[in-house]
Amino acid sequence: MKIHKLLFVLMAALVVFAMVAGCAAPAATTDTSSSSATTAPAASGDEAASGDEAAKPYIPVISKGFQHQFWQAVKSGSEQAAADFNVDITFEGPESEAMVDKQYEMLQAAIAKNPAAICFAAVDSQAMIPLLEEAQTKGIPVIGFDSGVDSDIPLATAATDNIAAAALAADKMAELIGESGKVAVLVHDQTSRTGIDRRDGFVNEIEAKYPDIEIVNLDYGGGDQLKSTDLAKAVIQANPDLKGYFGANEGSIIGVLNAVNELGKEGEIVVIGYDSGKQQIDAIKGGVEAGAITQNPVGIGYKCVEAAVKAINGETLDKVIDTGFFWYDATNIDSDEIKPLLYE
């Protein structure tokens, strides 16, 4: 009897134990969905982020160069537009405007990231077309800036009318040298759209309107100040009666100014430049340089990013976005109209 009672007690205890174990809370499980949202790599282009909020559209901005202050001004404009339109950008360019292969690699890497759009200023107007065709195939809108390409792929190009601007420089040169005499031209390259257009704008205007002006030299310095200095010195030494010199970008005109200063030709040669920068501004204020054409580099940077955002949103764009140009010299360099367009 006692044995039966003992067995009954043991069985009851086992039943109670099993019931308690069955009612216990299940073991905790890890919710991997929230952790993946914080550890996953950031989405590129217009891909959504892993969380509830979509990532900002990503727009790489690839310029022709990085060393001149002109490109730093373009960069500041693009960064302002990125803030205003709530997009992410990167800004890069090769060390020299002659580095076609380097820029090709930059554009190739940018396309591989599948960005929402690309802003691009071509060093070589032909060499980049295969990559732009790849971008088009992938559905990536391309916006040109400063220097276009020989293709209809860019939906728009934000740039100066360089032909008209260089023609104005030619008219100013002719006026200042009495519409006769020898002049020389120093251009950054013959492959980019800006190089071609500024060369042709100046040369064609002289040839069409001023038969008594002779262009004795047309050289290409790659936008490199040292190379441009050497080229300009050689031209001045070979032409002691040279009356004028036109430099078609910042690097070119600094080379001309260096040559004029080193050879003691200040005041003897009418020097006309393009763009801005401290050395050029000082030369104009000091009377060594007659004047220059200024673009609107901040506006160029801003307008290209603005156009990229419009393209992402499916808006219609004008094929050419004219960002304007102005002649400036000692009489208006500090004016309210010109001063905001210059950079040092």
Domain ranges of the chain: 43-48+57-160+297-324, 162-294
**DSSP designation for 224:** -
Burial level of 336, CB count in 10 A (0-12/13-18/19+)?
exposed
Do 179 and 171 form a contact (C-beta atoms < 8 A)? no
What is the reported pLDDT for 36? 28
What is the reported pLDDT for 54? 66
Low-confidence winner among 2-6, 51-55, 260-264 (lowest mean pLDDT) = 2-6
CATH of domain 162-294: 3.40.50.2300
Amino acid at the residue 43: A
Percent of the chain with pLDDT over 70: 84
Q: What CA–CA distance (Å, rounded) separates 301 from 90?
A: 12
For 43-48+57-160+297-324, which CATH superfamily applies? Response regulator (3.40.50.2300)
For residue 217, count other CB atoms closer than 10 A to its CB: 18
pTM for this model (two decimals) = 0.78
* Whether residue 23 has pLDDT greater than 90: no
Q: What CA–CA distance (Å, rounded) separates 286 from 239?
A: 24
| Adjacent-strand bridge partners of 246 | 185, 272
Stronger pLDDT, 47 or 88, i.e. the higher one: 88
- Topology agreement, domain 43-48+57-160+297-324 and domain 162-294: yes
Tens of pLDDT, residues 61-80? 999 998 788 999 999 999 99
For residue 325, count other CB atoms closer than 10 A to its CB: 20
Average pLDDT over residues 177-186: 98
Average pLDDT over residues 213-220: 98
* Whether residue 153 has pLDDT greater than 50: yes
Q: What CA–CA distance (Å, rounded) separates 258 from 254?
A: 6
